[in-house]
Structure 1
């Protein structure tokens, strides 16, 4: 291993919890059988992915909210003790076709609905899913404060908030926000420059990167058009993957996790074998040169 190798730890804190740096996202759980969903959660736990992420809006359809949460709740109900093995994250505040509603009463109602569907007494980390531009930060803070004081949530955070929105909300709270969940991957690099990852380090926020594989575009099966950002990035990832005997998806996950602000990457595959295989991300040995080579490919221009 070279002196400049970026060594990945396998666990990280989020609030008072210690979790795996790979986390499992349940946004496609709606419609899964309890048996299938249980197998996915157990596979995630097998690789240390003990943080389970969902949201009220996941599975939204004709029957309304909570399709994915309801399946996860049935998994917990059918497997006593499983809930205590996971750190449970859910999100509220998206209400099609409005689309966002973070009034205090709505966030509280959303959380209570999630608790019922998840068959849980408490949400470990409750996130405001997207910023509602018509809700004051005082009102959002009021909801999170009430939920926390009532013991319905242990920690609070946000998702898809800008650094200024995070700072504004934090200024209204007398407790620290625990997390932010932005999109971040070698194909979605805006958080590197827009302040998202900087404020995370300033405020000790756990960054939960969603879509770290670019919605499946950073996998061996994807064949992008020549000359595109995807093609450039995949070429660099493939070179590293070939060298380390892993897949391009594992290199992409390792690249995300190598940033000092990133706590975890959310994986969302519905295939049990691929869930387990994701742990190969920890086998990738990125050098600083490797990491910057991927960034240059993503930007399409040399580093200044």
Structure 2
């Protein structure tokens, strides 16, 4: 829901229903989504709040996730009461009593993890959140926060795609396997770069490797890219960024894609730009 921040409730409802009808039930947004655009900070949450209000029963059919902690122009502020206030503002914009998964959007390097943990615990005890996770954290940052948490963190949200493979090597996905964390991968199509004509040699090489699988499977390049990420044993959940209902529906074609280990590694080699050791 990164780009879900206009003022067209009918179109926003169509996107949401397309996802739900396709079996997509995780709706991930953030208070910062919309910042820098016409409707500003909080626009994505406010728009989805209007969709929820106009469609009784929708709230109970989805897993509602949002994020907080980015506060321009500071830029990051997750300390103590501020995080609680941020979450409460999200609840008001969304028009709900509780958020299923509340995530710290980016690490505030000036915040002690014990203070973050206490704020999350307060929100949970008050029934304002049901579970907590983090986004864009390193494994050591995650471990520092987890050490102070009175209840387990359940998720991480890294950037992960055939064009951004760092989580395979920096310990993020290894930690997810170690701690049984849900992985929500953002920009699974490389910010859309994998959808169009490649403008650099590396993206072109990755596209060629994906297209070879797509041709054999009778699938789209996007579906193969989603499936490539989902093939990792941590079972990443790709966050679909499209605002087009048909493309949202087509995302579930990823479940139809089967690739061999050799094909998966061929995509990785293309992304790395060099042979594996």
Q: Secondary structure at the match of 1:275?
A: helix
Between the two proteins, the alignment pairs up a number of residues equal to 276
1:166-185 equivalences under 5 Å are 166-185=142-161
Q: What is the RMSD computed on CA atoms of the aligned residues? A: 1.1
Q: 2:101 aligns with which of 114, 125, 145?
A: 125
Which of 87, 95, 111 lines up with 1:111 in the alignment? Answer: 87
Given candidates 230, 242, 245, the residue that maps to 1:272 is: 245
CA 64–276 in structure 1, closer or farther in 2 if over 3 Å, else same: closer
How far apart are the structure 1 equivalents of 2:166 and 2:250?
Answer: 28
Q: Which residue of 2 aligns with 1:3?
A: none
Displacement of 1:64 after TM fit? 4.8
User: What's 1:190 paired with?
Assistant: 166
The CA distance in 2 between the partners of 1:63 and 1:241, in whole Å, is: 38
- The 8 Å contact of residues 133 and 153 in structure 2, kept in 1 or not, is answered as yes
Structure 1 residue 150 corresponds to structure 2 residue 150: no
Question: Take 2:235 and 2:164, find their aligned partners in 1: how far apart are those partners?
Answer: 14
2:28 to 42, 45, 53: 53
5 Å matches for 1:71-110? 71-110=47-86
Pick 1 or 2: higher relative contact order, CA cutoff 8 A, min separation 6: 1
Large movers: runs of 4+ above 6 Å: none
Q: Which residues of structure 1 form unaligned runs of 5+?
A: 1-25
Cα deviation, 1:142-163, whole Å, max 9, x if unaligned, reads 1111101110000000000000
Separation in structure 2 between the aligned mates of residue 108 and residue 131 of structure 1, nearest angstrom:
16
CA distance in 1, matches of 2:7, 2:246: 17
Tell whether the 8 Å contact from 1:216 to 1:222 is kept in structure 2 after alignment. no
Q: 1:238: how far off? A: 0.8
Query: Could you say which structure has the higher strand fraction?
Result: 1
- Normalized against structure 1, the TM-score is what? 0.89
Seen in structure 2, the aligned counterparts of structure 1 residues 106 and 64 have a Cα distance that, compared at 3 Å, is: farther
Aligned counterpart, 1:15? none
1:247-262 paired onto structure 2 within 5 Å: 247-262=220-235
Which residue number in structure 2 is paired with residue 70 of structure 1? 46
Compared with structure 1, are the counterparts of its residues 81 and 215 closer, same or farther at alpha carbon in structure 2 (3 Å cutoff)? same
- Distance, in Å, in 2 between the alignment partners of 1:31 and 1:63 is 7
TM-score in terms of structure 2 length: 0.97
